[in-house]
Amino acid sequence: MQQVFTKYIIVGAGLSGLTSAYRLYQAGETDFIILESRDRIGGRIFTKNRIDFGAVWFQTHHQQVVGLLEELGIAKFHQYSEGENVLVYSTMAPAHYFRNDPNAAPASRISGSSMAMIEALARSFSEKIKLDTNVTAINVKADGLQVIANDTAYQAEKAIVTIPPRIVTRITFSPDLPATVTEVMKNTHTWMSNAIKIGMTFAKPFWRDKNLSGTMLGQVGPVVELYDHSDHLDEHYALMGFVNETLRDTSAEKRKQRIMDYLSKYLGNEVLNYLTYEEKDWSKDMHTSCETIKSIYMSPQYGHPLFEASYLDGRLFFSGAETAPAYGGYMDGAVLSGNLNAGKLMTPLTPRHPLKGG
């Protein structure tokens, strides 16, 4: 087996992992490797045809994201919300039309898509990211940690694992993690793991001409949420939203037909003149989801205190949107977690601890 030596290892090239790597690089620390099981960076931030099929929005109180974007020189813009929203609350009654409260704080999006932030974070150290590299074991050795991925044994002083806690349970640890930690990981819902997202692009934003915002809400139809997803330059026009999960086992052709019939009923037949149509079912993504899919529409509890501790003699840390002590499940939580764990990596080990699990 090939041996690779490095000071630090980051498992996962999503927002949290890349934030930690960015902070290390800023501090002058370049002796690190990022191991990513996907064939791309970004994790649950994923953009196709300039449509964000993963993380999209943040608000003014999400200061970790706001601050990071300012630091990276990336602009933000408000989610388009002018005109009337459509609420479909019953298949037996007409839709309800309403306007947003003008005093409500609007959600914001990232100029150039959410991937603009990911690409900016990784730009300085892209050569340190190893794609298609699946971590299967993490072992304590006399001089640090051994991380097994593919046919390589990576040796490091410390490591951060930034993938979703449920996915972490696929990794074998030696010595074992405490049973309480493993149990918490198994019971921590993975943000986005049950979502089906849809994205369509158009030559022009026909809904705006009808004084519609592009927002549709309702749990009774094939699309439970829909939003204007046009770009900040007003040059690229799109709609993006969430598909009702009851359609997951419907064939792709029938699901699309039901979606388009539904949207044309409330937005007009112009919606049928799309340029591109894409779906992303995150439950089919092995890097995000697991065998048991559980739909959660209320915000689950994230940031269990056990995720704040270190393990394997203080050499191993857990990071990510689900582990964050604040704003768990949001991009803000992922950035916060990445910042905190970069600091933990660079904090010297306390020499009095013998090597052990937990």
Q: What is the pLDDT of residue 352?
A: 47
Q: Are 55 and 331 in contact (CB under 8 A)?
A: yes
Q: What is the DSSP letter of 245?
A: G
pLDDT 10s digits, 240-250: 999 999 999 99
Q: What is the pLDDT of residue 349?
A: 87
Using CA atoms, how far apart are residues 167 and 186, in angstroms rounded to an integer?
9
Within 10 Å of residue 149's Cβ, how many Cβ atoms?
Answer: 23
pLDDT 10s digits, 13-65: 999 999 999 999 999 999 999 999 999 999 999 999 999 999 999 999 999 99
Percent of the chain surpassing pLDDT 90: 89
Using CA atoms, how far apart are residues 84 and 185, in angstroms rounded to an integer?
42
pTM for the model: 0.94
Structure tokens at 232: 């900040």
Maximal C-alpha separation, the chain: 71
Residue written as token pair 């939580």: 333
Sheet holding 223-228, edge to edge: 96-98, 84-87, 212-217, 223-228, 237-243, 196-202, 276-281
Using CA atoms, how far apart are residues 226 and 345, in angstroms rounded to an integer?
41
pLDDT 10s digits, 180-227: 999 999 999 999 999 999 999 999 999 999 999 999 999 899 999 999
User: Which distant-in-sequence residues (6+ apart) come within 8 Å of 42 by Cβ?
Assistant: 13, 14, 15, 54, 115, 118
pLDDT 10s digits, 276-314: 999 999 999 999 986 665 565 555 789 999 999 999 999
**Domains assigned to the chain:** 2-47+117-189+298-346 (3.50.50.60), 81-109+194-284 (3.90.660.10)
Using CA atoms, how far apart are residues 25 and 6, in angstroms rounded to an integer?
14
At 93, is the pLDDT very low, low, confident or very high (cuts 50, 70, 90)?
confident
At how many degrees (to 10) do helices 63-72 and 115-122 cross?
60
Q: What is the pLDDT of residue 353?
A: 45
- Inform me whether the pLDDT recorded for 357 exceeds 80: no
Task: Give the distance from CA 341 to its chain's centroid.
Answer: 18
Question: Among residues 347, 297, 79, 59, which one has the least CA distance to residue 194?
Answer: 297
Tell me which of 213 and 357 has the higher pLDDT. Answer: 213
The length of the chain, given as a count of residues: 358
Phi, psi of 327 (to 5 degrees): 55, 40
Average pLDDT over residues 93-100: 92
Using CA atoms, how far apart are residues 217 and 98, in angstroms rounded to an integer?
11
* 3-state DSSP of 113-148: CCHHHHHHHHHHHHHHEECCCCEEEEEEECCEEEEE
